[in-house]
Structure formats: structure tokens, C-alpha cells
């Protein structure tokens, strides 16, 4: 998958993207609400090789996409099948240095539209730590609705955490495009 938006190129990761991605996942604040720990100098190449290998979305294999702005990777979108027919989950992380400029919204919208319209996906969902207010706001900006708030349902990094499930259907996008849904 290769997409071009107004400001971004969205593509699978390439060998030269390691340091840009390490700038994202080597940051404690960025990784606070993620399921994995912060990347370290000693494991960054191993972690990055997983991103390089995730270059084709199949029912068994996830897809990791680099969000590139002016030849610098500023974000990572990960997409995988949930096991339910035509349903995907999406995760995202962006370099905080580029926050507040609409890049994450632009990237997520473009990928979701592509998946709904070109790949005939029925549903896309995002599961996130309920304390992650910026990610919740991003989900809402792209038209996802909060469908669930689970209390202390996930054990992560030594504590029980609440989680939110956001979702969007292909029909939601079509309604929005046809002017039946207004933000």
C-alpha cells in the first residue's frame, strides 16, 4: 500500500527508516500507553526488523506503514485483521515533535478511506488505553465512535488499565461522503 495525501507519503517501512522510527519508539512518553516497552539502543534493530517484515496485510500478517513528511518518518500506522470477517484493527504512533499539525488525522483518514473504499473492509476499530486522551481525540476526529469503555480489563506494564474501543463502519464513511453525517 502506497498512498499520497496533501502533505504525506504513506508506505511500508524501508531500511533507512530506523532512526526516524527510533525517535518515536525510543520516547518514554510515546510508549506510555502502548502495549510494548520503549525501544532501547540494544533492541531497536530487532524491533525495527519486525516493522520491515510487516509489509503486506493478510489475514495472518499485520501491515506497518510509515507516515513520511519531507523525507522524514513522523508516524507509524499498524493494521491487522481481528479474526472477524472484513474487520481490521488499527494502531498509530506519531513523533510528538510533529503533534498539533493534523498529520495523524490526515494519515489515519487516508488509510481508513483506502481500506473501506478499495479493500471493501466492513469495520475498522481501535483499542486504546482510556488515559490516552490524544488518541481518543484522534479517533473522534476521523469519525470513529466510542463503542465501549471497559473497566480495568487489561493488565499492562504492572497495572490494570481501562480501555476504550472505537469503531467505524464502511457505511459511516459513505454517509459522511454523501452529506448525511456532519461533524
pLDDT (tens digit per residue) in 63-85: 999 999 999 999 999 999 999 99
pTM of structure: 0.90
Residue 177's pLDDT is 60
- In this model, does residue 13 exceed pLDDT 60? yes
Q: With the CA atoms of 144, 180, 85 and 79 taken in that order, what torsion angle do they form, in degrees rounded to the nearest 10?
A: -40
- What are 15-59's pLDDT values in tens digits? 999 999 999 999 888 878 887 888 899 999 999 999 999 999 999
66 lies in some domain: yes
Strands 123-129 and 145-156: unpaired
139 lies in some domain: yes
182 lies in some domain: no
- What are 123-167's pLDDT values in tens digits? 999 999 999 999 999 999 999 999 999 999 999 899 999 999 999
Residue 183's pLDDT is 42
Residue 128's pLDDT is 95
* Contact predicate 163/125, CB 8 Å: no
Residue 30's pLDDT is 85
183 lies in some domain: no
- Give residue for cell 485483521: 81
CATH code for position 115: 3.40.630.30
Residue 38's pLDDT is 87
Residue 182's pLDDT is 44
Residue 37's pLDDT is 83
- Nearest Cα neighbor of 175 from 115, 116, 111 is 116
Q: Can you give the residue range of the structural domain that contains 61?
A: 3-177
* Contact predicate 1/114, CB 8 Å: yes
Domains identified in the chain, total number: 1
Residue 15's pLDDT is 94
34 lies in some domain: yes
DSSP-derived secondary structure letter, 15: G
Residue 178's pLDDT is 65
49 lies in some domain: yes
- In this model, does residue 170 exceed pLDDT 80? yes
Amino acid at each position: 500500500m502506497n498512498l499520497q495525501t496533501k502533505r504525506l507519503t504513506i508506505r511500508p517501512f524501508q531500511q533507512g527508516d530506523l532512526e526516524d522510527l527510533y525517535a518515536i519508539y525510543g520516547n518514554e512518553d510515546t510508549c506510555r500507553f502502548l502495549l510494548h516497552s520503549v525501544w532501547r539502543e540494544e533492541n531497536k534493530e530487532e524491533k525495527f526488523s519486525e516493522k520491515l517484515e510487516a509489509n503486506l496485510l493478510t489475514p495472518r500478517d499485520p501491515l506497518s506503514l510509515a507516515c513520511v513528511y519531507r523525507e522524514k518518518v513522523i508516524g507509524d500506522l499498524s493494521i491487522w485483521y481481528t479474526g472477524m470477517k472484513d474487520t481490521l484493527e488499527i494502531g498509530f504512533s506519531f513523533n510528538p515533535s510533529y503533534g498539533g499539525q493534523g498529520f495523524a488525522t490526515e494519515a489515519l483518514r487516508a488509510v481508513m478511506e483506502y481500506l473501506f473504499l478499495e479493500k471493501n473492509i466492513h469495520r475498522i476499530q481501535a483499542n486504546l488505553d482510556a488515559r490516552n486522551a490524544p488518541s481518543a481525540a484522534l479517533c473522534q476526529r476521523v469519525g470513529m465512535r466510542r463503542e465501549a469503555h471497559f473497566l480495568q480489563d487489561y493488565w499492562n506494564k504492572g497495572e490494570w488499565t481501562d480501555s476504550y474501543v472505537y469503531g467505524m463502519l464502511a457505511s459511516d464513511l459513505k454517509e459522511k461522503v454523501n452529506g448525511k453525517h456532519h461533524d
